[in-house]
């Protein structure tokens, strides 16, 4: 039997020479064993083991044009993403399908603050694209290179599959709930829409949520002009700061309607620090129904969206697209108002 190679990593040529076969036979032994006899494969594997040879899986996949990996193209820096439990739930759903279908998962945050720059550096078979506009340069780049992708938290796009939730219906329902309790002075903690909102309006899920709020207000004879609005990044500390600002006004809201649970947590932090009781003096609602919301104090009234299901659907659609089975499906997942303890009828304050 051959001895272990000294002074360098053994190659398939070394294995071929030791086993007395061609390099093609070595490749067949590891990749297509049905193309050689069992005896030949055993001889090749024995020579490989003796030499300490292992096939370069990555090089083989790249040569074949596949990596067995999918990427999640993220709209924020990795530190911000990992701070938000929403993404942990979403990636749980993606990961379940990856485990089931034999794919690995690569998180792809912006490179030098650019999602577009990050795309060429991700060795993946396709992308789940989170929260990007369909007419943006990123989507055009993916199409130009014919990289399969699925959109979530975006606008519907005819050239790719998408998964969304009923943001409009969910926002309408929670707003109507506060109005039916008797609240008329609402403060809205909105997700930061970006610098172009003045000229282009609200887009994607945020646009749908704002539409739902406006429709519910109209049903009560109110409009967005009657709402105190703060637009902030989706972090607990930003929810805290924004709520401090809203409550400093001469006519502070009796209810804070936050468009994410993380913002709602920050709102409660701020109100309690101000010495205000939640919900007896100020009600607070969220959107997402993160796991913490069920045991947060007070337990948070919020809109539940099926985050894990969204991740599972997005991953399933993407793998179908990679395999050439995709018919560009569009899935709209429902939302549910979860009534807990953080919202009650307004006091006379």
Task: Give tens-digit pLDDT for 191-237.
Answer: 887 766 655 678 889 999 999 999 999 999 999 999 999 999 999 99
DSSP per-residue codes, 14-76: HHHHHHTS-HHHHHHHHH-GGGS-HHHHHHHHHHHHHHT----HHHHHHHHT--SEEEEE-SS
Query: pLDDT at residue 121 above 60?
Result: yes
Mean pLDDT for the chain?
Answer: 89
Gap between the Cα atoms of 315 and 19, Å rounded: 42
Q: What is the pTM of this model?
A: 0.81
The pLDDT score that the predictor gives to residue 207 is: 92
pLDDT band at 2 (very low <50, low <70, confident <90, very high): low
Which three-class secondary structure state does DSSP give residue 281?
Answer: coil
- Render pLDDT for 155-186 as a digit per residue (tens, 0 to 9): 888 889 999 999 999 999 999 999 999 999 99
Going by C-alpha positions, the residue among 103, 173, 165, 129 that lies closest to residue 309 is 165
**Which strands form 228-232's sheet, in the order they lie side by side?**
228-232, 186-191, 255-258, 283-288, 301-304, 336-338
Mean pLDDT of 279-288: 98
Mean pLDDT of 62-75: 80
Residue 48's Cα: distance from chain center in Å?
42
Top pLDDT among 53 and 284 is at: 284
DSSP assignment letter at 176: H
Architecture of domain 69-164+307-332: 3-Layer(aba) Sandwich (3.40)
Gap between the Cα atoms of 315 and 302, Å rounded: 26
pLDDT band at 18 (very low <50, low <70, confident <90, very high): very high
Q: How far, in Å, are 25, 103, 194 from residue 32 at the CA level?
A: 9, 20, 52
pLDDT band at 243 (very low <50, low <70, confident <90, very high): very high
pLDDT band at 245 (very low <50, low <70, confident <90, very high): very high
Pick the CATH number of 167-306 from 3.40.50.2300, 2.30.30.40, 1.10.510.10, 2.60.260.20: 3.40.50.2300
Gap between the Cα atoms of 312 and 92, Å rounded: 8
Mean pLDDT of 318-329: 87
DSSP per-residue codes, 180-220: HHT--SEEEEEEP--TTHHHH---HHHHHHHHHHHHHHHHT
The pLDDT score that the predictor gives to residue 347 is: 84
Gap between the Cα atoms of 317 and 329, Å rounded: 8
The pLDDT score that the predictor gives to residue 6 is: 53
The pLDDT score that the predictor gives to residue 34 is: 81
Mean pLDDT of 75-101: 92
Helix axes 85-101, 261-273, angle to 10 degrees: 150
> What residue ranges do the domains of the chain occupy?
12-55, 69-164+307-332, 167-306
Query: pLDDT at residue 57 above 70?
Result: no
Comparing 243-252, 314-323, 340-349, which segment has the lowest mean pLDDT?
A: 340-349
Query: pLDDT at residue 59 above 70?
Result: no
Pick the CATH number of 12-55 from 3.90.550.10, 1.10.340.30, 1.10.260.40, 3.30.200.20: 1.10.260.40
Domains 12-55 and 167-306 in one fold: no
Top pLDDT among 82 and 219 is at: 219
Comparing 35-39, 63-67, 328-332, which segment has the lowest mean pLDDT?
A: 63-67
């Amino acid at each position: 039997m051959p001895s272990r190679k000294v002074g360098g990593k053994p190659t398939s040529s070394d294995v071929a020479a030791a086993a007395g076969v061609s390099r093609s036979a070595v490749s067949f032994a590891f990749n297509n064993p049905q193309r050689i006899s069992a005896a030949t494969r055993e001889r090749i594997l024995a020579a490989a083991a003796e030499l300490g040879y292992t096939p370069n899986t990555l090089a083989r996949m790249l040569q074949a044009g596949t990596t067995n990996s999918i990427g999640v193209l993220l709209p924020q820096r990795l530190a911000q993403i990992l701070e938000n439990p929403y993404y942990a739930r979403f990636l749980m759903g993606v990961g379940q399908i990856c485990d089931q279908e034999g794919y690995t998962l690569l998180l792809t945050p912006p490179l030098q603050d650019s999602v577009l720059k990050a795309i060429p550096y991700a060795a993946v078979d396709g992308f789940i694209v989170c929260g990007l506009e369909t007419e943006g340069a990123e989507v055009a780049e993916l199409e130009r290179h014919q990289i399969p992708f699925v959109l979530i938290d975006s606008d519907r796009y005819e050239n790719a599959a998408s998964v969304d939730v009923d943001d409009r219906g969910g926002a309408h329902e929670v707003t109507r709930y506060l109005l039916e309790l008797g609240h008329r002075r609402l403060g809205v903690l909105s997700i930061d829409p970006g610098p172009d909102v003045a000229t282009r309006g609200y887009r994607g899920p945020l646009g749908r949520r704002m539409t739902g709020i406006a429709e519910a207000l109209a049903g009560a004879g109110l409009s967005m002009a009657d709402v105190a609005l703060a637009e902030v990044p989706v972090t607990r500390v930003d929810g805290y700061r924004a709520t401090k600002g809203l409550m400093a006004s001469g006519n502070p809201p009796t209810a804070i309607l936050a468009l994410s649970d993380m913002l709602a947590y920050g709102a409660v932090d701020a109100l309690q620090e101000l010495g205000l009781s939640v919900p007896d003096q100020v009600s607070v609602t969220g959107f997402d129904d993160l796991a913490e919301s069920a045991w947060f104090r007070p337990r948070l009234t919020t809109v539940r969206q099926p985050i894990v299901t969204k991740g599972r659907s997005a991953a399933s659609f993407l793998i179908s697209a990679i395999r050439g089975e995709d018919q560009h499906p569009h899935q709209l997942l429902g939302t549910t108002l979860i009534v807990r303890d953080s919202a009650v009828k307004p006091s006379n304050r």
